[in-house]
Amino acid sequence: MFLWRHLTLVLLITAHTYKAQKCHEFTDLNLAHAFIGTSPRVRLLLYTRHNDTCGDLLSHSDLAQHPQFNMSKPTTFIIHGYRPTGSPPLWLNITKMLLDREDINAIMVDWNYGAANLDYVKTVRNTYKVSDNITAFVQMMQDHGASLSSIHMIGVSLGAHIAGFVGANFNGSLGRITGLDAAGPLFNDKPP
């Protein structure tokens, strides 16, 4: 009987803890969104070693809401690119791989609203708005003690350009930018 009560109590505590922690996931849109077009909406999902599979939606205005976001640790932003079908990228597990290697703040930049659009030209225009959003967030981080040299931007496709725009907004002071398969259309044969 004692064992049964103990097990029941453990299950109740576990269920309560699970309910208290809400996992935020990458926005999953569909082809209909791409046909009608989407406007940029930037969501920043934080992953840490303590929470490597459950994203925590960061506030764009109040970092105090997120005590697990440690400004003394390096921060890596992962930025996806053009999503013409609206589906999440297949490589979202990159956050877990990064956290397995180093104790960092891994932030998945979800701008699927803005990237899911059959009008590629409009999506390219949206990259500037997304980079301004990320720039403001990095500035807020800096105001709370984060060092620009500890920030790494990893961008894929149009995300590579967003990372570059953010870097340019900080006059090249970010610690590192990694551009993977940078988008060519509307960027090839242009000056830096």
User: Domain extents for the chain?
Assistant: 22-180
- Mean pLDDT (whole number) for 16-24: 62
Which pLDDT band holds residue 12 (cuts at 50, 70, 90)?
very low
Whole-model pTM: value is 0.87
Task: Please state whether beta strands 56-57 and 41-47 pair in parallel, antiparallel, or not at all (unpaired).
Answer: antiparallel
At residue 191, does pLDDT exceed 90? Answer: no
Measure the CA–CA gap between 116 and 38, rounded to whole angstroms: 6
Please tell me the CATH code under which domain 22-180 is placed.
Answer: 3.40.50.1820
Measure the CA–CA gap between 180 and 190, rounded to whole angstroms: 18
Which pLDDT band holds residue 173 (cuts at 50, 70, 90)?
very high
Structure confidence at residue 21 (pLDDT): 63
Provide the token pair at 25.
């996931």
At residue 94, does pLDDT exceed 60? Answer: yes
Measure the CA–CA gap between 155 and 94, rounded to whole angstroms: 12
Give the length of the chain: 192
Average pLDDT over all residues of the chain: 90
Residue percentage of the chain with pLDDT more than 70 = 89
DSSP per residue, the chain: -HHHHHHHHHHHHHHHHHHHSPPB------HHHHHH----EEEEEEE-STTSSSBEEPPSS-GGG-TT--TTS-EEEEE----TT-PPPTTTTHHHHHHHHS--EEEEEEEHHHH--S-HHHHHHHHHHHHHHHHHHHHHHHHTT--GGGEEEEEETHHHHHHHHHHHHTTT-SSEEEEES---TTTTT---
At residue 165, does pLDDT exceed 80? Answer: yes
At residue 184, does pLDDT exceed 80? Answer: yes
At residue 38, does pLDDT exceed 70? Answer: yes
Residues 103-141: pLDDT tens digits?
999 999 999 999 999 999 999 999 999 999 999 999 999
Contact present, 126 and 161 (Cβ < 8 Å): no
Which pLDDT band holds residue 7 (cuts at 50, 70, 90)?
very low
